[in-house]
Structure 1
Amino acid sequence: MPAMSRPLISRRAEPLTGRAKVPGDKSISHRALMFGALAVGESRIEGLLEGDDVLRTAQAMRALGAEVEKLEDGSWRLWGRGVGGLMEPADLLDLGNSGTGARLMMGLVATHPFTTFFTGDASLRSRPMKRVSEPLSRMGAKFVTREGGRLPAAVVGTTNPVPITYELPVASAQVKSAILLAGLNTPGETTVIEREATRDHTELMLRHFGANVTTTIREDGARVVTVTGFPELTGRTVIVPADPSSAAFPLVAALVVPGSTVTLVGIGMNPLRTGLFQTLREMGADIRTDNPRIEGGEEVADLVVTSSALRGVDVPAERAPSMIDEYPILAVAASFAAGTTRMFGLSELRVKESDRFTATMNGLRACGVEVEAEGDTLIVHGKGAPPPGGATIAVNLDHRIAMSFLVMGMAAAQPVAVDDAEAVDTSFPGFVELMNGLGSAIEGN
């Protein structure tokens, strides 16, 4: 039977107040499970995001032979198999909605001598995988996919992997990570060159587990990331910081709901993930950083956010890799700002969980916001006042579209509804409860 939809409606909120801890970082949670499965001995993970995407990765690592269990104290324990020790799964791996899980895991299995079958939900099956299969094929793996390189797919791992040097044609931390993970079980050095810096959680965590990963900067500014094959990864403890992409929703809500002050605790502040915070500050947002610290090799801080009058800005294309998941909620913030906000270089938004570029633009228009597109530039004309709202948004299984427009409803002139918020649990389980705990008014529609 098809899953039941979960419509929600968001009405104007009283001032948002209080402290909140958003779920653990999704990118780091995926990697902690995968690297723990490749390590020798026991690993512990604290603060793991227990959303559907990450739980699918946990199940996939079990299918590949690792021991993965949740302990009574809420932490997770893994007993890994060592680099090159994964087992052929007895059934296909269903990654649900998770592009990160699917693409990174393709890299993991590409240099193991067995065949792995991948599938996912309708959204994931529509997303392109050629950007991963092309470099992994150069390393010796074979791929059988649907037309356009889409799932379901079979990855036939190679028995004789070949190290490569690969320059990313498009900035993508997922593709970079897939190649580096394939390089772990490959002799010699595997190198990825990126002209635009993307999130570096893979490099940081591989070093944490004991891999030899180097990052250098070429004369032209490109980053050269190299992993040496056949390391002995050793079980480690990973403390997962709160996800800055999830923090974006209560943060923007606090900015646009008048009279709000909200503290968000333990947010990951990796410089390659904080483009949204930088952009909002340029727009006039009052965001204060408290208690900066290092946890598990990652920068972490508390953010104190106070409602602010925002103004339109230009967001340069080179900032996109550091905030690619946050453009829908930034566009919502821009709809409250005074003046025009131009977001350049958003081609990657067209191949996320949905065509987020079009979904964002259509949702804003439905809510009475003046918005236009010029190529891969999204242009929002804010009036310095709450937008009309009053629409029901079709989210097409996209959790970030759903949460973005629920935030809009908290301060728009009329309520905003979404037709199905079921996908929100993939990245932010407990979103409605957390937001209503701060003072929002989200309820079943």
Structure 2
Amino acid sequence: MNYEVQPATTLQGKIDLPADKSISHRSAMFAALHNGRSAITNFSEAADPHSTLDCLRRLGITIEEPGDNTVIVEGKGRDGLQTPSKDLDCGNSGTTMRLLSGIIAGSGVSARLTGDESLSARTMKRIIDPLTEMGAIIEAREADYAPLNINREGPVKPLYFPLPIASAQLKSCVLLAGLFGEDPTEVIETLPSRDHTERLLGLSIEEMDNKKVISASREDVIPEQSYRVPNDFSAAAFWLVAGAIHQDAEITLPAVGLNPTRTGALEILKQMDADITVANQQREGAEPIGDITIRSSSLKPVEITEEVVPNCIDEIPILAIAMLFTDGVSRISGAEELRHKETDRLHALAEMLEAAGADFEEFNDGLEIKGHTGFTPKPAVFDSYHDHRIAMSAAVLASMADDPSEIRDGECTAISYPGFWDDLQVLTN
């Protein structure tokens, strides 16, 4: 379905954002491995975490959804998973496939993990290699791609694993497999990535020589996962940029997750002189939250380098839109990983910027964008490439044009933000 975006004369209001997808995935998985009941509230309505719930049910986990985005999981402990009689369909969710692969490999059950066309085109080599070293037997299409047939015959082998890239999914996959081993598996992290897994599981972390050593084994008690999932910072980022670049904007976003490994985009926008305030800071379970307000801002150019990319990887598409409205040249580098998401996001961004009449240059690992404060994008037909973050970034950009634009296949926003189009209407009316 295509969506028409009208020019926004104002952006005013309060938006209750969707729940955090990353935490929703993990809360359900870890609750399944906990020995007992967990009640998770504000569970994400997005398609991806519900792919995780469907897969857990096929692994023999009883899950109730009584309403109000509450999920009740009857955990069976790490030895309670059952070999599924059907494929584990991960849909479009890379988090589901990569984290569940670690759990399946560690548990010793045999399972076949499948995904949709987009997910099946994403390489799984990064998880296949370490899981194989840990004793898993994995058969994959063309050696690297889903479907993945996973089983294990011997015990889980402990692994000393320096992360080759900053990836929370890879880190989590290895640690989850390690939970089933008698001896500790250690993941060594030199560049920070999302730390929800180690927070929610309470894993041991040792810091030394500018690196973190995170360990997991059968000695770790998997805690109950009863808490409210914070609202999604990645969803907040679209409205933070929309508010900053619009000339008549004030948007408040309550109870947003403020995990420091997730809020790189918040720090980048502050560097750009965005008018942002954070209030009512507190904790929800293991995670910090707060209320964020963004107002119309005069933005400065910024450089996003390899060191900070892991903490803002999902927000780079919308940060690129912010760069268009600065007074100067901004650069993104070290972001080659964006070419391996739901689509090649750097290419999709380049197509979007070209259609809008922007002055930019594309590189293998990023973009250089020449912005100016009076920039007005050309109205255009923007292709979402069936990628939710590209679709929402294009919508924010289109709202700044003088005439209507169109977003192709805009329904893909439901992957992470089912109410995005309704919220855009709320802010512009």
TM-score (norm 1): 0.94
Q: CA deviation at 1:49?
A: 0.6
- SS for the counterpart of 2:108 is coil
Match of 1:39 in 2: 34
Would the alpha carbon gap of residues 429 and 73 (structure 1) be closer, same or farther in structure 2, given more than 3 Å must change? closer
Would the alpha carbon gap of residues 423 and 230 (structure 1) be closer, same or farther in structure 2, given more than 3 Å must change? farther
Match of 1:398 in 2: 387
Match of 2:421 in 1: 432
1:407 pairs with 2:396: yes
Match of 1:136 in 2: 131
Match of 2:208 in 1: 218
Distance 2:193 2:223 in 1: 26
State the aligned residue count.
429
Deviations 1:297-316 (A, max 9, x none): 10101001001121211122
Match of 1:3 in 2: none
Match of 1:103 in 2: 98
Alignment map for 1:169-180 (pairs within 5 Å) = 169-180=164-175
Whether the 8 Å CA contact 1:313–1:341 is kept in 2: the answer is: yes
Match of 2:52 in 1: 57
Uncovered stretches (5+) of structure 1, i.e. residues with no partner: 1-5, 208-212, 441-445
Alignment map for 1:116-265 (pairs within 5 Å) = 116-147=111-142, 149-207=144-202, 213-219=203-209, 221-265=210-254
1:313 pairs with 2:302: yes
Uncovered stretches (5+) of structure 2, i.e. residues with no partner: none
Would the alpha carbon gap of residues 275 and 400 (structure 1) be closer, same or farther in structure 2, given more than 3 Å must change? same
Q: CA deviation at 1:257?
A: 1.9
- SS for the counterpart of 1:328 is helix
Return the structure number with greater relative CO, CA threshold 8 A, min gap 6: 1
Deviations 1:374-397 (A, max 9, x none): 331311111212332322122222
Distance 2:62 2:219 in 1: 21
1:28 pairs with 2:23: yes
Deviations 1:273-329 (A, max 9, x none): 111111111112101011111111101010010011212111222110100000000
- SS for the counterpart of 1:280 is helix
Deviations 1:336-391 (A, max 9, x none): 22211101210110111111111111111111111112331311111212332322
1:423 pairs with 2:427: no
Whether the 8 Å CA contact 2:201–2:223 is kept in 1: the answer is: no
- SS for the counterpart of 1:71 is strand
Give the letter aligned to residue 90 of structure 1.
S
Q: CA RMSD for the aligned pairs?
A: 1.3
Whether the 8 Å CA contact 2:41–2:71 is kept in 1: the answer is: yes
Distance 1:7 1:148 in 2: 36
- SS for the counterpart of 2:386 is coil
Match of 2:269 in 1: 280
Give the letter aligned to residue 268 of structure 1.
G
Moved more, 377-386 or 50-59: 377-386
- SS for the counterpart of 1:156 is strand
Q: CA deviation at 1:422?
A: 2.1
Q: CA deviation at 1:78?
A: 0.5
Distance 1:250 1:10 in 2: 15
- SS for the counterpart of 1:18 is strand
- SS for the counterpart of 2:31 is helix
Q: CA deviation at 1:73?
A: 4.2
The percent identity for this pair of structures is 38
Distance 1:349 1:16 in 2: 29
Whether the 8 Å CA contact 1:10–1:415 is kept in 2: the answer is: yes
Match of 2:73 in 1: 78
Moved more, 198-207 or 74-83: 74-83
Q: CA deviation at 1:230?
A: 4.7
Give the letter aligned to residue 347 of structure 1.
E
1:356 pairs with 2:345: yes
- SS for the counterpart of 1:111 is helix
Match of 1:336 in 2: 325
Distance 2:153 2:410 in 1: 40
